[in-house]
Structure 1
Amino acid sequence: MLNWENMFATRSSRMRASEIRELLKLLDQPDIISFAGGIPDPALFPDKEFQAAYADIFNSAAVSSALQYSVSEGYKPLREWLVKQMAALDIPCELDNVFIVSGSQQGLDYLGKLFLSPKDTALVTWPTYLGALQAFNAYEPSYDQLTPNGNRTPDSYRATAAQTGGKVKFAYLSADFSNPTGETVDRAGREKVLELAEELDIAVIEDAAYQSLRYDGEPIPPILALEIAKKGHIDNTRTIYCGSFSKTLAPGLRVGFVVANAPVIRKLVLMKQAADLHSSTINQMAITQVAERGFDAQVAKIKAAYSHRRDAMLTALAKHMPAGITWTKPEGGMFIWITLPKGMDGAALLAKSIETAKVAFVPGRAFFADGSGENTIRVSFSCANDVMIEEGIGRLGKLIAKEIGG
């Protein structure tokens, strides 16, 4: 028999199946109440708007362009719309600063490829987005803990990176309603990340996938906006802003974007030319039409729905969780992070929950680059109604209470 392991590149050993992707299969089981997948509710998709957009494309002369090869940078009208959107976030930029990718996940993969050599260090929060770890892992990095409001010195990061045989290359974080915790980095924390990046001379990758989903509290300027305010122009900045239409319009179209200084964008364009030439043109055209006709209305609709579900889950947690259990209280996004008593294992709890309580969630360990966090779990409210939330959290609370009591 062929020994494929001997043929694969060494980086393939760092590739792992996504626990979340596997858990999404549970959504098809009618007896499981799932809080596992942090995915948008399909009932809220602007499907009629997309139906009209695709019909317009196919019924016009633009269909030939929609079905043809296109430029790697992305569909120009979509990039022009994004320039206006960025300006509204205090991120003034030009067309050359905007690059379209096939979902922001592709952007993370490209950035890992661009910056990481084997043994280099990526700074990530503990916990962090699992998909980012999967994207970066292929490039064989080491990880160190990024603490936006902590007291780690630049020299300590340099020393740790040197011990593993490489250099610190970037800091990655989701500053707004992060996946998995739902927490937001305050302005002081964002400024500290920028200060650290300046002293280490590294990039900052700002994952803004949930930036539009704020339900209450005061908006905080994106890290890139803070840096532009200090340096005067986006081409003088080190922050790379990754955005997506997956959480607002439709994830299945796989349209995301990167906003950054022009030299970084030019390198990313070369990567796209080598990888897949360009993102789907017809999908970019449809996204453009739907966004131009009603992006703000769509965002308002989903924010109303998700904020109600968040409130329902927070109420249910307060009602059903036993003493000693804590959880985050996010101002937006799709997630709540639950911390169990020390010694309790989230993965073991999931196995029992699926078997007895019929409730699914994501064990927290997968989100930690060092494999810690075994006593944490992530629950998502985005696809759950009031009845599911009350019943599911009630069952989960009883199970946890039973496990605590032995």
Structure 2
Amino acid sequence: MRIYLDNAATTPLDPEVFEAMKPFMLEDFGNPSSIHGHGRKVRAAIESARKKIAELLNCTPGEIIFTSGGTEADNAILTSSVRTYGIKNVISSPIEHHAVEHTLHLLTKQEQLNLRMVQLDAKGHIDLDHLESLLKENPNALVSLMHANNEIGNLLNLERVAELCDQYKAYFHSDTVQTVGHYRHDLSKVKVHGITAAAHKFHGPKGVGFMFIRKDKKIQPFVHGGAQERNMRGGTENVYGIIGLAKALEIAYRDMDEHIRYIKELKTRMIERLTEQIPGISFHGDSANLETSLYTVLNVSLPESDENDMMLFNLDLQGISASGGSACSSGAAQGSHVLGALYPESKRGAIRFSFSKYNKPEEIDVAVKALSELCKIPA
């Protein structure tokens, strides 16, 4: 049986979520834009899902716009905020997800933007003093900084960055794809203007997500061609995806405290056993610090070896699924841009293990044993 330790890439669908989705796959098939009974029933289900998500995030239903996932949501907020508010100054970091990084570089060319990168400390955390300096120097800015890095797990002080952006009148977007469903977000208190989510990161279906757009910082539509999503996103809604998304988030909030405790135990177990069994091992970023990193992610830094390039392949041969970085970059010829930014001269190997409520302690032990044996293979 295979062991799945790549939950930052995607998570298995929760059976409760599937049961909630099934009626909208087989029975309630109406187009939610139709005015007849079939359509009205589905429209009501979508709005009920929107209301549930808004309740969990402590915002209004009108601030939740459904999308095809986190990448579309990031693209929409970044592109439309620049064009809606005539923004010319953008502040970001060199370790953002490609959905942000690539979009900002494209916008820089298309809109003649001034893109500035905030400095990072040795662990990969945002230098908040430098961020404030950039905000002072660059008025009417767009700030895009992710809440948790998908590769090294570092957490951003979302509240503090939101306060700084509010102080300097900047539009603040945060890619929260790795934290929605894993942490509680109270959007009535955090002054962020736009966040993003993808259902498949917290045991919901693939191909659906949402963006939160604060009602006093609305943006122009990104996808045109229909009046769906309150004129904010054209196209027939992914109905059963939306139902699954809302159910998955409801389950995540219901069971969050227990899952945080359980998954932290798995992560701690792996850190301790790896440290005991592999001499010279360390951890990238701040991923081994349970207080300042995602409890679901551990990025392992392997001692230099000619075998490191084949490590993921060899783990896969032993039935263990893990990652070398972002799943969105898997198959790419270049290495991780995140690790490249933090450790430009490093020749150490990297394995990202990421955990979920479905993992078991014995799976951690098997993965550690396999990695330990592979690291002992002579070069």
Q: Which residue of 1 aligns with 2:309?
A: 351
1:71-105 Cα shifts (integer Å, max 9, x gaps):
9xx94333222332222xxxxx3333222222222
1:81 counterpart letter in structure 2: K
For 2:325 and 2:241, locate their aligned partners in 1 and report how far apart those are by CA, in whole Å. 35
> Which of 360, 363, 368 is the matching residue for 2:338?
368
For 2:251 and 2:11, locate their aligned partners in 1 and report how far apart those are by CA, in whole Å. 18
1:393 counterpart letter in structure 2: V
CA contact (8 A) 2:97 2:150 kept: yes
Q: Which residue of 2 aligns with 1:83?
A: 54
1:212 counterpart letter in structure 2: G
C-alpha deviation, 1:120, in angstroms = 5.8
Residue identity over aligned pairs, in percent, reads 10
| TM norm structure 1 | 0.63
Say whether residues 1:184 and 2:155 are aligned partners. yes
CA contact (8 A) 1:81 1:288 kept: no
C-alpha deviation, 1:109, in angstroms = 0.9
Q: Which residue of 2 aligns with 1:208?
A: 176
C-alpha deviation, 1:333, in angstroms = 4.7
Say whether residues 1:241 and 2:195 are aligned partners. yes
Higher helix proportion, which one? 1
> Which of 279, 304, 313 is the matching residue for 1:322?
279
Say whether residues 1:392 and 2:354 are aligned partners. no
Equivalent runs, 1:77-156 vs 2, <5 Å: 77-87=48-58, 93-116=59-82, 122-125=90-93, 127-140=95-108, 142=115, 144-145=117-118, 148=126, 150-152=128-130, 154-156=132-134
Q: Which residue of 1 aligns with 2:164?
A: 196
List gaps (5 residues or longer) in structure 2: 121-125, 227-232, 327-334
1:396 counterpart letter in structure 2: L
CA contact (8 A) 2:300 2:351 kept: yes
2:296 counterpart letter in structure 1: M
In structure 2, the CA distance between the partners of 1:395 and 1:121, relative to structure 1 (3 Å rule), is farther
SS of 1:108's equivalent in the other structure is helix
For 1:319 and 1:371, locate their aligned partners in 2 and report how far apart those are by CA, in whole Å. 29
In structure 2, the CA distance between the partners of 1:323 and 1:251, relative to structure 1 (3 Å rule), is same
C-alpha deviation, 1:194, in angstroms = 2.9
> Which of 14, 19, 22 is the matching residue for 1:48?
19
C-alpha deviation, 1:56, in angstroms = 5.4
C-alpha deviation, 1:108, in angstroms = 0.1
Aligned residues, how many? 333
1:272-296 Cα shifts (integer Å, max 9, x gaps):
3359613525225633774698664
In structure 2, the CA distance between the partners of 1:226 and 1:401, relative to structure 1 (3 Å rule), is farther
1:325-356 Cα shifts (integer Å, max 9, x gaps):
23524365531123456xx59xx765221455
1:14-34 Cα shifts (integer Å, max 9, x gaps):
xxxxxxxxxxxxxxxx8x866
C-alpha deviation, 1:110, in angstroms = 0.7
CA contact (8 A) 1:171 1:197 kept: no
CA contact (8 A) 1:124 1:146 kept: no
List gaps (5 residues or longer) in structure 1: 1-29, 88-92, 228-236
CA contact (8 A) 1:255 1:279 kept: no
